[in-house]
Structure 1
Amino acid sequence: MIKSLLRHKLLKSTLIYTFGSAINKAVPFLILPVLSYYLLPAQFGIVANFNVLFAIFVIFANVGFDGAVSARYFSMNKDNLKIFVFNGLLLSLVASIVMLLMITVFNGVIFDWFKIDIKYQILTVISALFSVITTLNLTLWRLEERPFQYGFYEISQTVVNILISLLLVVVLKQGWTGRVDGILISTILYGLFSLFFFISKKLFKIFNQ
């Protein structure tokens, strides 16, 4: 009976997505004791502030794009979908540029609220844009019912994030910046992988020919 259930495509995909999500949530939690040994409570607070700021920037960079792709994916042909993807990425880029311009004006206010300096504010916006690109890649894989690619990509990003963070915090003793740099590096790296994947597979186009 179990074997027959596992042959069911929808159930198999659901199990893979659930397993991948569980690992992504468990791994960062498991390394907390290690990080707490090397980071002071105040440094943990800065990392938490960074995560909040990063989440805010992702919301603005995303502009609801991944949800729009999910809603319209099955109603568009491939050419129109590619144009839609390009326009969404362009809109995310414009939103990110606007945020960068706002940082030049309001970086002092942001620092007062989050204790994140202008260098990391700029890097957080850039990272948010690449996070949107990765999210789009994962969304398309989910809609195409490619759970193995989805799960591997998501889990490997989390593992790379953690490994870089541990290297910078534990080995190189970089404190809270090591943890933040681990998040930034892994996010930008996987965003670049996703962008190269889009380009190599010609998953977007500027206009219909």
Structure 2
Amino acid sequence: MIKMLNIKFIKSLSIFTLANVINAAIPFLLLPVLTYYLSPADFGIISMFQVLLTILLPFAGYNSESSVIRYYYEKDKYNYSSFISNALYLILIGALVLVPVFFFFHEEIIRLLFGAEAPKVSEKWLWVMLIIAVSQNIFQVQQNLLQVQYRAVEYGIYRILKTALELGLSVILIVYVNNTWVSRMEGQFIPALLFMVISLFLLYKNKLLNMKFDWKCMRANLAYGFPLLPHVLSGV
């Protein structure tokens, strides 16, 4: 029995690793297109948007997607569908906390991030990035669930498909529609929304959404995820 479990673990680990390697390699295929069609200024704007997204991700949910793994092994203490639902609620709460920040300080944030290129960036793109952050966190909840359940093939398929769609759409938009940074960001926004919807559907299909607000689950999510904020932000 132990030998069979070890084989299953090694097989799953290999698939997870391969999926992440492929997923990380795909963006390099986009580089020739970006360097040919986009200006250095466009590259700079795209880079700063990615920095902003890296900052937004932990705040839009307080790392509650990570607690899905941590508390999976304590399902006897929690109604796990309530736990997942409250992790999603926390993602929405985190995003709502950021709304007044963007509303009142959008001009300052844009100037700080983009400097001389700030006139090219409108306020709406801050809201787009916030939606992307929420979408990616919800997608990551589903991915973490697949990971902890050793459903490695499904994990790899969804992860690679999302990245491939994002980059494929970006190439099409940059080459045939608008060869500026806007096309790259639109190519990131649409797949993020699509896979958020897919993730929510899969959670619902697997009866992991009961949408009940539970303070016990909410506190557990916060107790695990919130202290991780400094660690996550230190990598920015």
- TM > 0.5 between the two? yes
Cα shift at 1:112: 0.4
Cα shift at 1:79: 6.3
- Name the stretch that deviates more: 101-110 or 197-206: 197-206
Distance in 2 (alpha carbons) for counterparts of 1:87 and 1:26: 34
* Equivalent residue number for residue 157 of structure 2: 152
Cα shift at 1:66: 2.1
Cα shift at 1:185: 1.1
Q: State the one-letter code of the partner of 1:113.
A: L
Distance in 2 (alpha carbons) for counterparts of 1:85 and 1:9: 26
Name stretches of at least 5 consecutive residues in structure 1 with no aligned partner: none
Cα shift at 1:35: 1.1
Distance in 1 (alpha carbons) for counterparts of 2:172 and 2:77: 43
* Equivalent residue number for residue 70 of structure 1: 69
Distance in 2 (alpha carbons) for counterparts of 1:101 and 1:174: 32
* Equivalent residue number for residue 60 of structure 1: 59
* Equivalent residue number for residue 89 of structure 1: 88
Structure 1 ranges of 4+ moved more than 6 A? none
Distance in 1 (alpha carbons) for counterparts of 2:179 and 2:201: 31
Residue correspondence of structure 1 range 146-185 to structure 2 within 5 A = 146-185=151-190
**1:164 and 1:78, CA in 2 relative to 1: closer, same or farther beyond 3 A?**
farther
1:189 aligned to 188, 194, 208, which one?
A: 194
Aligned length: 204
Q: State the one-letter code of the partner of 1:131.
A: Q
Q: State the one-letter code of the partner of 1:94.
A: I
Distance in 2 (alpha carbons) for counterparts of 1:173 and 1:14: 41
Distance in 2 (alpha carbons) for counterparts of 1:9 and 1:201: 23
Q: State the one-letter code of the partner of 2:198.
A: F
Distance in 2 (alpha carbons) for counterparts of 1:169 and 1:67: 34
Distance in 1 (alpha carbons) for counterparts of 2:57 and 2:193: 13
* Equivalent residue number for residue 117 of structure 2: none
Assess if the C-alpha contact under 8 Å between 1:107 and 1:117 holds in 2: no
Q: Deviations over 1:110-164 (max 9, x none)?
A: 1102234310100111111111110000000011110000000000000000111
* Equivalent residue number for residue 21 of structure 2: 22
* Equivalent residue number for residue 199 of structure 1: 204
Q: Report sequence identity in percent.
A: 32
RCO higher in 1 or 2 (8 Å CA, sep ≥ 6)?
2
- So what's the TM-score if we normalise by structure 2? 0.81
User: Helix, strand or coil for the counterpart of 1:62?
Assistant: coil
Cα shift at 1:101: 2.0
- So what's the TM-score if we normalise by structure 1? 0.91
2:147 aligned to 142, 163, 167, which one?
A: 142
